[in-house]
Amino acid sequence: MRDLYTHRSSPIHRLDARVKTILTLAFVLFLSLTPFQAWPAYILFLAVILSISLLSRLGIRFVLWRSFLVVPFLLAAVPLIFTGPPPRATVQVLQGFDVVYSPEGVGRFVSIVVRSWISVQAAILLAATTRFPDLLLAFQHLKVPGLFIAIVGLMWRYMFVISDEATRMLRARSSRSADLPNTRHSGGTIHWRARMAGGMAGSLFLRSIERSDRVYSAMLSRGYNGESPRGDATPLSSRDWQILIPGLCLLLLLWMLGLLTGG
């Protein structure tokens, strides 16, 4: 695993983490509240994201490629195609086999896909242009509950520890001839490989639990009280306000446009 942050020398990277966090949350909120089938507003929201991608010197391809991680989660919205509001329509897929669907349900499904896809791009931009400690510090200054910040911080840090542990387990399995050269399927039958994968997953879980106990005991011995140390809050500069206020106004205008054009 590697950090999501990608270093570039750009105005977006140099912007205060609190400003980026507020604008990202506002972007996702206004986009979520944009009415169903407000396509002109969706296009403008996407144009804003792509413009910021270019301004951050990450590139459009960088953001679009990572945004495809949302695709598996969108399968939960597929039933809308068949259970949406009437009227119903019928399409013939095969000879003697017809599929009944809701045209409005299809529109709602596409709207969910577009909004989710654009929202994920906004989150990717925030993570790629803001170091994770700065992001946690911004959450603190924005009065996010300390328990939530502690959970997110510990989860992020120890994901890399668990990833390294899983890598060592896979390497150990390979060294014991689980991966045989010049074979299409290594390691025996599918049942054998499934049993080995299940055993490794269970072993990784137990090792993670044991490691978490040791880590927590070490943290308590060093005075951990359940919250991350608080950093000094510095007021936003005039430049930050000059970006934050117009940015919120722009998002408000896009949302109002969505209200006018939405179905």
User: How confident is the chain (263 residues) per 10-residue block, as mean pLDDT?
Assistant: 75 91 95 88 93 90 85 80 76 72 81 90 92 87 82 80 81 66 58 77 83 82 72 80 93 92 71
First-residue to last-residue Cα distance in the chain: 42
**Using alpha carbons only, what angle is made at residue 143 by residues 142 and 144, rounded to the nearest 5 degrees?**
95
Helix (H) or strand (E) holding 220, with range, is: helix 190-221
Helix (H) or strand (E) holding 126, with range, is: helix 103-129
pLDDT number for residue 65: 86
Return all residues near 100 (Cβ < 8 A) that are at least 6 apart: 82, 88, 89, 90
Integer CA distances (angstroms), 18 to 131, 151, 216, 243, in order: 12, 19, 30, 12
pLDDT number for residue 1: 43
Among 162, 234, 158, 244, CA closest to 204: 162
pLDDT number for residue 139: 87
